[in-house]
C-alpha cells in the first residue's frame, strides 16, 4: 500500500458528461501528480501541484482541469467527455517539489479506470 488513495476505482459514463477524480496523497506529501494511461496515447503526464499551486503542466486538455486543496487532496475534473478519454488515471505524490539534487520518490495510487461510452 503506497498510502495514496484514489476514488473512485472505476467509473463508467457517457460522452459529453463531466466527472471528478479524487486523489489523497500520502500523509505529509505536498506534491501531487496526475497521469493518464490509454491504449492510444500510452502514458502521459498531465499536471503537477505543489502545496496548492500548479507547478508543471503536461499534456492536459483544455477540457480537463485540476486543483489541489488546502488539505492537499487533489481533484481532476474531466468535462465534455469523449470516447478517447477512456483511460486509467493515476495520481502520485511525493514529499518535496522537484529538487535539483537528491532522490525524489513518487508514490502512486491504484488508479481510476474511466470508461466513456
| 22 φ/ψ angles, rounded to the nearest 5 degrees | -120, 145
**HEC secondary structure over 1-36:** CCCCEEECCEEEECCCCCEEEEEECCCCCCEEEEEE
20 touches other proteins (CB under 8 A) = no
Near other proteins by CB under 8 A, which window of 11-19, 36-44, 61-69, 78-86? 36-44
Q: Which stretch binds other proteins (CB under 8 A): 16-24, 60-68, 73-81, 84-92?
A: 84-92
> Does residue number 106 form part of the binding site for other proteins (CB under 8 A)?
yes
Q: How many residues belong to the site for other proteins (CB under 8 A)?
A: 27
Within 10 angstroms of residue 115's Cβ, the number of other Cβ atoms is 12
Q: Indicate whether 52 belongs to the interface with other proteins (CB under 8 A).
A: no
Strand, helix or coil for residue 75:
strand
Residues that bind other proteins (CB under 8 A): 2, 33, 35, 42-45, 48, 50, 55-56, 58, 88, 90, 92, 97-98, 100-101, 103-108, 110-111
Amino acid at each position: 500500500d503506497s498510502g495514496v488513495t484514489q476514488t473512485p476505482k472505476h467509473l463508467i459514463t457517457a460522452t459529453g458528461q463531466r466527472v471528478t477524480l479524487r486523489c489523497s496523497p500520502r500523509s505529509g506529501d505536498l506534491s501531487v501528480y496526475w497521469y493518464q494511461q490509454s491504449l492510444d496515447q500510452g502514458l502521459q503526464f498531465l499536471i503537477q501541484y505543489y502545496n496548492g499551486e500548479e507547478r508543471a503542466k503536461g499534456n492536459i486538455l483544455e477540457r480537463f482541469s485540476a486543483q489541489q486543496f488546502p488539505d492537499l487532496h487533489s481533484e481532476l475534473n474531466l468535462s465534455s467527455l469523449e470516447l478517447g478519454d477512456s483511460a486509467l488515471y493515476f495520481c502520485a505524490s511525493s514529499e518535496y517539489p522537484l529538487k535539483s539534487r537528491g532522490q525524489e520518490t513518487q508514490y502512486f495510487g491504484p488508479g481510476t479506470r474511466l470508461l466513456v461510452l
